[in-house]
Amino acid sequence: MPIERIAILGTGLIGASAGLALRSHGFAGTITGWDPSALETRIALETGAIHCAADPAIEAALDVARSSDVILLSGPVFTILEWLDRLAPELTPAQLVTDVGSVKGAICARATGKYNMLEMAGFLPGHPMAGKEVGGAANADGALFENAAWLFTETKDTQGMSPAARTLANDWRAWTARFGSRVLDLAPERHDEVCAWVSHLPQYLATALSALLEDEFPSKEEIQAIGGRALREMTRLGSSPFSMWRDIAHTNTEAVAASILALEQRLQHLRENLKTPELREEFVKANLFRNGL
Amino acid sequence: MPIERIAILGTGLIGASAGLALRSHGFAGTITGWDPSALETRIALETGAIHCAADPAIEAALDVARSSDVILLSGPVFTILEWLDRLAPELTPAQLVTDVGSVKGAICARATGKYNMLEMAGFLPGHPMAGKEVGGAANADGALFENAAWLFTETKDTQGMSPAARTLANDWRAWTARFGSRVLDLAPERHDEVCAWVSHLPQYLATALSALLEDEFPSKEEIQAIGGRALREMTRLGSSPFSMWRDIAHTNTEAVAASILALEQRLQHLRENLKTPELREEFVKANLFRNGL
């Protein structure tokens, strides 16, 4: 049986984009949206990301979840952890929870013992490698997931989900492929390590660079006039919202700290070799990296 | 008298883009191109960036320069320094040399006593804040300078240029405005300091990040599959050619080293505060910077 009723808990950028992607790829069922902000669900409704907007009360979200086949948890990591706790006692083995959380180790650990076992709903941990430096349903885009990876981090735990939940999980995986995503599987630990390098490090780096320049140029006139594409590009992610990245910093701390420390050391090496042949080695390696990307 | 004959010494990305910009904005005179690589002048000729390609011999460049009103020096900083030395004894006060060099302190210092005085040609130090991560005439674009700053770093020295050279300098400044650039004046020392922050730091940072990831991911499969926009954007400048950035490292060493050190310290601060309220402060500052950009 394919998915008929989807609940999107969190109709911000990613949740509303998933709704738009579902509808633009022919999803024939019903999508109900819930968000702690009534404004977000209203925008999601107006843009057609959802068919129906639930009241912002928690109890309303639980009602929606109880009557859905698939519940998509979309929001910062701690919010997803809370929903995993709240929903577990409310659902049946014929239902599937899936998510878009940026850190998978903490999320998979929290689901253990609450999902994917006898009498419990299924949980399929997922993470689309897509986003923007601005959040909210108003910035949602049904094409956001095209050519992006959609990672799933199934484990021994998820092998225990009920046949009904597995059918829903396979159907959801097929939907993400229809969105134009590259569907990939990896272990939660490896997910968190790779994401520290390719996603979290670039973000914290852009934040550090932007904050440094804010201190260095309290008046913006000069930098507005002189700064070019390089500056704008390297600081674009400086606009990213704190809430999402606080949760990542708290739940992937070790891997993030290791990647930042490695970059500090690399910058120091480059700085100490501005006038030595080592500088060429760094450019050769950087060129090589880009050629392989 | 407006400019009639322009020599572009160095028909790579910036030189050939200037030729294309001149022609697409109605320059009615003659543009002769010279480059140490015959391939570069051939491409510049074929794409219409120049009317005439000189032989790659140094003597041919001197011939072209002698018979031009304006000589545009386009290339890495050390190459521009060499041309300033070579051209000075060959030219007359009715001629103007201008450049596109990325560091202005060293270039202005080298021109002192050789230009802008009795019997000497004029020299107008310039720097368009435009570029690409790939060089060469094949990547040239007549629209490259649109909405970019074109900086001039005139000093007491340049006040000494002959009236004929001043007329040519004013005409060249008008051309850069026609290209769609924001024409701005600042002191060479301030130029080098601001560029260390807004241009050189972003470049060396992208190089360090790319080189680090090259070491971290010797096999590219995983990173190709998982990496998204953030990764591609933050490492784009990793493709930049070493030759240009070696010269900048050598001629703006102090300011570049200071900006890299400041970023190292900022990253360390962020790393040590991944789980404290300081992280929010950094995001707030970064958001503020981007809002003001």
DSSP per position, A95-135: -EEEE--S--HHHHHHHBTTBSSTTS-EEE-EEES---SS-
| Chain B residue numbers touching A184 (CB-CB < 8 A) | 225-226
pLDDT above 90 for A127: yes
H helix count then E strand count, chain A:
13, 9
The three-class DSSP label of residue B66 is helix
Backbone angles phi, psi at A234, to 5 degrees: -75, -15
| A166-198 per-position pLDDT tens digit | 999 999 999 999 999 999 999 999 999 999 999
| B131-168 per-position pLDDT tens digit | 998 899 999 999 999 999 999 999 999 999 999 999 99
Backbone angles phi, psi at A49, to 5 degrees: -75, -25
Q: Kindly state the average pLDDT of the residues B120-136.
A: 95
Binary contact (B232, A262; C-beta < 8 A): no
For residue A265, what is the nearest residue in chain B, using CA coordinates? B264
Between chain A and chain B, the number of residue pairs with CB atoms below 8 A apart is: 290
Distance CA A235, CA B63 (A): 45
Backbone angles phi, psi at B2, to 5 degrees: -75, 170
| Chain B residue numbers touching A264 (CB-CB < 8 A) | 264, 267-268, 271
Distance CA A145, CA A148 (A): 5
Q: Could you say which residues from 3 to 62 on chain B have a Cβ atom under 8 Å away from some Cβ of chain A?
A: none
Distance CA B96, CA B161 (A): 9
Binary contact (A213, B289; C-beta < 8 A): yes
A109 interfacial to chain B (CB closer than 8 Å): no
| Environment class of A273 (CB within 10 Å of its CB; exposed 0-12, middle 13-18, buried 19+) | middle
Domains of chain B in start order, with CATH, are 5-186 (3.40.50.720), 190-292 (1.10.3660.10)
For residue A278, what is the nearest residue in chain B, using CA coordinates? B246
Binary contact (A230, B199; C-beta < 8 A): yes
Q: Could you say which residues from 230 to 269 on chain A have a Cβ atom under 8 Å away from some Cβ of chain B?
A: 230-242, 245-246, 249-250, 253, 256-257, 260-264, 266-269
Q: Could you say which residues from 143 to 182 on chain B have a Cβ atom under 8 Å away from some Cβ of chain A?
A: 148-149, 151, 182
Q: Kindly state the average pLDDT of the residues A123-141.
A: 95
Distance CA B120, CA B131 (A): 31
Binary contact (A285, B215; C-beta < 8 A): yes
Longest pairwise C-alpha distance within chain A: 66
Backbone angles phi, psi at A96, to 5 degrees: -130, 130
pLDDT above 90 for B22: yes
The three-class DSSP label of residue B150 is strand
State residue A133's pLDDT score: 86
pLDDT above 80 for A54: yes
Binary contact (A288, B232; C-beta < 8 A): no
Place of tokens 């290339």: B75
For residue A149, what is the nearest residue in chain B, using CA coordinates? B226
Binary contact (A231, B198; C-beta < 8 A): yes
State residue B7's pLDDT score: 98
| A151 min Cα distance to partner chain B (Å) | 8
| B238-287 per-position pLDDT tens digit | 999 999 999 999 999 999 999 999 999 999 999 999 999 999 999 999 99
- In this predicted complex, what is the ipTM? 0.94
Identify the sign of the CA torsion B129, B133, B134, B138.
Answer: negative
| B205 min Cα distance to partner chain A (Å) | 7
State residue B30's pLDDT score: 98
Share of chain A above pLDDT 90, in %: 97
| A195-228 per-position pLDDT tens digit | 999 999 999 999 999 999 999 999 989 999 999 9
State residue B133's pLDDT score: 87
| B275 min Cα distance to partner chain A (Å) | 6
Residues 6+ apart with CB under 8 A from A105: A188, A189, A191, A192, A251, A252
Binary contact (A271, B264; C-beta < 8 A): yes
| Chain A residue numbers touching B257 (CB-CB < 8 A) | 271, 274
Indicate the residue of A149, A238, A288 with minimum beta-carbon distance to B225.
A149
State residue B278's pLDDT score: 97
In 3D space, the residue among B119, B121, B124, B141 whose CA is nearest the CA of residue B132 turns out to be B141
State residue A245's pLDDT score: 97
Q: Is A270 left (phi over 0), alpha (psi -120 to 50) or beta?
A: alpha
pLDDT above 80 for B227: yes
Average pLDDT, chain B: 97
B199 interfacial to chain A (CB closer than 8 Å): yes
Distance CA B11, CA B41 (A): 6
| B189 min Cα distance to partner chain A (Å) | 14
* Residue A185: how many other CB atoms lie within 10 Å: 10
A220 interfacial to chain B (CB closer than 8 Å): yes
In 3D space, the residue among B65, B70, B67 whose CA is nearest the CA of residue B34 turns out to be B65
| B30-45 per-position pLDDT tens digit | 999 999 999 999 999 9
| A62-107 per-position pLDDT tens digit | 999 999 999 999 999 999 999 999 999 999 999 999 999 999 999 9
**Residue from A266, A269, A273 whose CB has the most chain B CBs within 10 Å, to mutate:** A266
| A255-293 per-position pLDDT tens digit | 999 999 999 999 999 999 999 999 999 999 999 999 998
Binary contact (B286, A214; C-beta < 8 A): yes
Distances (CA, A) of A85 to A78, A97, A105, B226: 11, 12, 16, 29
The three-class DSSP label of residue B71 is strand
